[in-house]
Structure 1
Amino acid sequence: MSIDSSSAPGDGCVLLAASAGGVEGLGVLLGGLQAGLAAPVLVAQHLRRGRETRIVAVLSSSTALDIKLAEDGEVARAGVVYIAPPDRHLCVRPDRKLALTEEAPVNFARPAADPLFESAAKAYGAGCVACVLTGTDGDGTRGVKAVKARNGTVIVQDPETADFHSMPRSAIRTGLVDLVLPLPEIAPAIARTVRHG
């Protein structure tokens, strides 16, 4: 049975996308989220292929939330951060189970933001809170459009506070962004949005 895309309070997900400079930015953002967050957090951080990643260990030191590499077919649980593993797109199936795919890179990246945002928008509808952080390309822009088409919320890091401006600026140029915030203010905005649906 597929899940209707209309979303009730407490029935959403948080999507984070970053590229260059993103690991540090993710650490700041996740450090501002409290344990007990009433939504799963799904992360597409551009990672290098063919090498083991230490991103889980690095980010775990920053936050009270549990962090793990996403696994194909698992159910995303509230209060857990799921990181797309190297060389796999992280997506959400209609039944809200996670999927790892080897589809072509997007904006030369795999994992990439657009497949995550687009698939999560279909599964969670208005419950999506999508955030675009620092990065050097336009990844996430197509996904922002998908999230807004289903009445989700889009938050973008203020490009002036980002190590690399291209990703946030590209998202802002869609004209569909709800909030443009300095990095330290994004976590409180996510918490408020999740809490109030």
Structure 2
Amino acid sequence: MDHAAYGIKFPVVALVTSAGGLNALTEVLAPLPADVPAAFVVVQHMSPTHPSTLAELLDAKSALQVRSAANNDVLIPGNVLVAPPAHHLLVTSEARIGLIDSGDLPPARPSADLLLVTLAVTCGPRVLAVVLTGRGTDAQAGIRAIRHCGGTVFAQNAESSEHFGMPGAAIDTGLVDTVLPLTDLPGAVQAHIARRK
């Protein structure tokens, strides 16, 4: 796969989760060094009607810069952008964040599928999608797009997941490259980034 065909020049890691996600996200992000040469985006399903402190909670536990995503934000290595409530998070052709209103009805909000599909077509083989604990099947279509465009997919295993719906659905596609316990994911993410930078 030709990396030069895509505008972004560094790895992008998408962490997608639902129920049980705070602990899983903390476990993955906390061990990573501040100078990790990859950008991170986080989608966790949440109520569109309540404020979220997810970015602040993760920032307090991580050496990385973690904040809530804003429209037109640029992906920057060492930074983690978290989807805010009531918005789907997209990545545009300029490798910028696009926030769109999630509306009143499902799909899951914010949508892992929408994030992953846009990452696939804008960042191609630079993308690592990590499907963490959660209910439902969100991310199935997204990981199909990630693999179609040359990216990589990890999933949390059943034993370490509070809810195995999302990781299990991802694994059922047959397109997950690696299935790991939560404690092994930070090291695997770092090793992947080191190979792809």
TM range (shorter): over 0.9
1:31-110 mapped onto 2 (5 Å cutoff): 31-103=30-102, 108-110=107-109
The answer to whether the Cα contact below 8 Å between 2:102 and 2:110 also exists between their aligned partners in 1 is no
1:114-193 mapped onto 2 (5 Å cutoff): 114-193=113-192
TM-score w.r.t. the length of structure 1 is 0.93
Q: Which moved more, 1:72-81 or 1:106-115?
A: 106-115
Q: Which moved more, 1:100-109 or 1:124-133?
A: 100-109
The answer to whether the Cα contact below 8 Å between 2:7 and 2:122 also exists between their aligned partners in 1 is no
Partner amino acid, structure 1, of 2:5: D
Secondary structure, counterpart of 1:139 in structure 2: coil
Q: Tell me how far apart the structure 1 counterparts of residues 165 and 106 of structure 2 sit (CA, whole Å).
A: 12
Offset of residue 32 of structure 1:
2.1
Give unpaired runs (5+ residues) of structure 2. Answer: none
TM-score w.r.t. the length of structure 2 is 0.93
Offset of residue 105 of structure 1:
7.3
Post-superposition, which runs of at least 4 consecutive aligned residues in structure 1 deviate over 3 A?
103-108
Offset of residue 108 of structure 1:
3.5
The answer to whether the Cα contact below 8 Å between 1:106 and 1:112 also exists between their aligned partners in 2 is no
Superposed CA RMSD = 1.7
Q: Tell me how far apart the structure 1 counterparts of residues 103 and 91 of structure 2 sit (CA, whole Å).
A: 17
The 1:104–1:49 alpha-carbon spacing in structure 2 relative to 1, beyond 3 Å, is closer
Partner of 1:13: 12
Q: Deviations 1:142-197 (Å, cap 9, x if unpaired)?
A: 11100000111100000221000110000000001110000011111111111111
The answer to whether the Cα contact below 8 Å between 2:133 and 2:161 also exists between their aligned partners in 1 is yes
- The alignment status of 1:195 with 2:194, answered yes or no, reads yes
Partner amino acid, structure 1, of 2:92: R
Q: Tell me how far apart the structure 1 counterparts of residues 42 and 138 of structure 2 sit (CA, whole Å).
A: 13
Q: Tell me how far apart the structure 2 counterparts of residues 106 and 139 of structure 1 sit (CA, whole Å).
A: 14
Q: Tell me how far apart the structure 2 counterparts of residues 108 and 91 of structure 1 sit (CA, whole Å).
A: 15
Aligned length: 193
The answer to whether the Cα contact below 8 Å between 1:22 and 1:133 also exists between their aligned partners in 2 is yes
Percent of aligned pairs sharing the same letter: 33
Secondary structure, counterpart of 1:61 in structure 2: helix
